[in-house]
Chain A
Amino acid sequence: EVQLVETGGGLIQPGGSLRLSCAASGFTVSSSYMSWVRQAPGKGLEWVSVIYSGDSTFYADSVKGRFTISRDTSKNTLNLQMNSLRAGDTAVYYCARAALQNYFDYWGQGTLVTVSS
Chain B
Amino acid sequence: EIVMTQSPATLSVSPGERATLSCRASQSVSSNLAWYQQKPGQAPRLLIYGASTRATGIPARFSGSGAGTEFTLTISSLQSEDFAVYYCQQYNNWPPLTFGGGTKVEIK
Partners in one complex: yes
Chain A residues near B (Cβ < 8 Å): 35, 44-47, 50, 58-61, 94, 98-99, 101-105, 107-110
Segment with Cβ contacts to A, from B14-22, B71-79, B99-107: B99-107
CB distance from A34 to the nearest CB of B (A): 12
The interface residues of chain A lying within 8 Å CB-to-CB of B95 are 47, 50, 58-60
The interface residues of chain B lying within 8 Å CB-to-CB of A46 are 99
Q: Are A44 and B99 neighbours in the complex by a CB distance under 8 Å?
A: yes
CB distance from A24 to the nearest CB of B (A): 14
The interface residues of chain A lying within 8 Å CB-to-CB of B96 are 47, 58, 60-61
The interface residues of chain A lying within 8 Å CB-to-CB of B36 are 45, 104
The interface residues of chain B lying within 8 Å CB-to-CB of A99 are 49
Q: Looking across the interface, which residue of chain A has its beta carbon closest to that of B1?
A: A61
Q: Is B63 engaged at the interface, CB distance under 8 Å to the other chain?
A: no
In the bound assembly, the distance between CA atoms of A102 and B91 in angstroms comes to: 6
The interface residues of chain B lying within 8 Å CB-to-CB of A59 are 95
User: Which secondary structure dominates chain B's binding surface?
Assistant: loop
> Interface size (B, Cβ < 8 Å)?
24
In the bound assembly, the distance between CA atoms of A36 and B55 in angstroms comes to: 21
Q: Are A45 and B49 neighbours in the complex by a CB distance under 8 Å?
A: no
Q: Are A58 and B94 neighbours in the complex by a CB distance under 8 Å?
A: yes
The interface residues of chain B lying within 8 Å CB-to-CB of A94 are 43-44
The interface residues of chain A lying within 8 Å CB-to-CB of B46 are 103-105
Q: Looking across the interface, which residue of chain B has its beta carbon closest to that of A107?
A: B43
In the bound assembly, the distance between CA atoms of A53 and B44 in angstroms comes to: 25
State which of B50, B55, B102 has its C-beta within 8 Å of the C-beta of A105.
Answer: B55
